[in-house]
């Protein structure tokens, strides 16, 4: 069955039909999806009621799977190492209480960010599966960083063209009030540099590369660098650039982190479960090493 695309946000998000994620992606399916995500960097796959094993098996043909940060740093986890737990549920299937370190650590996902930008090699594709979704709130919002770059005035484009930003998960945790980090975590999660402007290797379009993980601009005084990052973040997340996804059980979102940012929204009541499970594909290298 050939795939069909139905636009949800102009040139940015589309629903995709004709894919069964219960089966591993064939080379033909990988090629079709990559062509679709080049055109629409956010893809919505509805009615994908899959297991963890099926999600991992479907994701694997797209490239190297990311090992979750929890697994890398030895934190308690309820999912296997190739899945990131974006939920508010404990290993005992109880909703995490206010003050629980695991819940506080996940609050960073409510800030605009790009998956894995704090790693030397960041994430290319993310696939997020909605297993238990909120009745109210809990949406995922995604921002088009290509359109954000295109909308910048020429003098600002010239200013940022060759800039690098330091990215750090320790920094983004601290921003939301969660400063706890072991010595091993500080070593594993050491600050890395990434380009502020990227060129997509397939489409050749330029985009901003921002995240709440970005701590400051390399070579700039910290106040000046933060001011620039805040300005760019405000510009990038204007409503015209943003797609908001209201979840249904079985939805799976796939997005290209090279040209998007995203965040989770608060859900109500917060003592009800929200079970979201993500698999991710690694990029091929650090952005500094890639052609601008």
pLDDT at residue 176, as a whole number: 64
**Is residue 109 very low, low, confident or very high in pLDDT (cuts 50, 70, 90)?**
confident
Q: How open is the CA angle 170-110-182, to the nearest 5 degrees?
A: 20
**Is residue 257 very low, low, confident or very high in pLDDT (cuts 50, 70, 90)?**
very high
Q: What is the number of domains present in the chain?
A: 1
Q: How far apart are CA 13 and CA 25, in angstroms?
A: 21
Q: What are phi and psi of 269, to 5 degrees?
A: -70, 155
Residues of the domain holding 39: 4-289
List, in order, residues 6 or more apart from 30 with CB less than 8 Å away.
Answer: 61, 62
Query: What's the distance, CA 195 to chain centroid?
Result: 17
Residue 69 has pLDDT above 80, yes or no: no
Mean pLDDT for all residues in the chain:
91
**Is residue 96 very low, low, confident or very high in pLDDT (cuts 50, 70, 90)?**
confident
Residue 33 has pLDDT above 70, yes or no: yes
Residue 181 has pLDDT above 70, yes or no: no
Q: Count CB atoms within 10 A of the CB of residue 214.
A: 26
**SS3 call for 227:** helix
pLDDT at residue 132, as a whole number: 94
pLDDT in tens, 204-256: 999 999 999 999 999 999 999 999 999 999 999 999 999 999 999 999 999 99
CB 57 within 8 A of CB 26: no
For a pLDDT cut of 70, what percent of the chain falls above it?
92
Give the CATH number, domain containing residue 105: 3.60.130.10
pLDDT at residue 189, as a whole number: 66
Residue 177 has pLDDT above 80, yes or no: no
pLDDT at residue 90, as a whole number: 86
Which ranges constitute the DSSP H helices of 237-275? Answer: none
Give this prediction's pTM: 0.93
Return the H-helix or E-strand segment holding 19: none
**Is residue 93 very low, low, confident or very high in pLDDT (cuts 50, 70, 90)?**
confident
């Amino acid at each position: 069955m050939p795939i069909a695309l139905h636009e949800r946000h102009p040139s940015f998000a589309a629903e995709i039909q004709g894919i069964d994620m219960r089966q591993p992606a064939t080379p033909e399916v990988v090629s079709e999806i990559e062509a679709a995500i080049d055109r629409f960097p956010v893809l919505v796959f509805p009615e994908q009621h899959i297991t963890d094993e099926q999600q991992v098996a479907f994701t694997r043909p797209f490239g190297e799977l990311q090992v979750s940060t929890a697994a890398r740093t030895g934190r308690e986890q309820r999912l296997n190492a190739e899945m990131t737990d974006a939920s508010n549920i404990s290993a005992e299937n109880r909703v995490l209480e206010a003050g629980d370190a695991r819940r506080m650590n996940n609050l960073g996902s409510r800030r605009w960010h790009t998956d894995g930008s704090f790693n030397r090699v960041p994430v290319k594709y993310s696939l997020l599966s909605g297993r238990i979704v909120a009745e109210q709130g809990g949406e995922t919002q995604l921002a088009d960083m290509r359109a954000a770059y295109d909308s910048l005035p020429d003098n600002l484009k010239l200013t940022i063209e060759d800039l690098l930003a330091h990215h750090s998960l320790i920094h983004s945790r601290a921003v939301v009030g969660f400063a706890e980090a072991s010595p091993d975590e500080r070593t594993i999660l050491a600050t890395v540099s990434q380009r502020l402007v990227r060129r997509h290797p397939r489409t050749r379009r330029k985009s901003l590369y921002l995240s709440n993980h970005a701590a400051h601009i390399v070579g700039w005084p910290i106040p000046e660098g933060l001011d620039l990052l805040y300005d760019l973040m405000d510009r990038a997340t204007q409503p015209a650039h943003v797609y908001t996804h209201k979840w249904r059980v079985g939805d799976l979102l796939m997005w290209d982190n090279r040209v998007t940012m995203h965040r989770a929204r608060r859900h109500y009541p917060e003592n009800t479960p929200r079970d979201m499970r993500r698999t991710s594909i690694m990029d091929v290298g650090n952005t500094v090493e890639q052609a601008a």
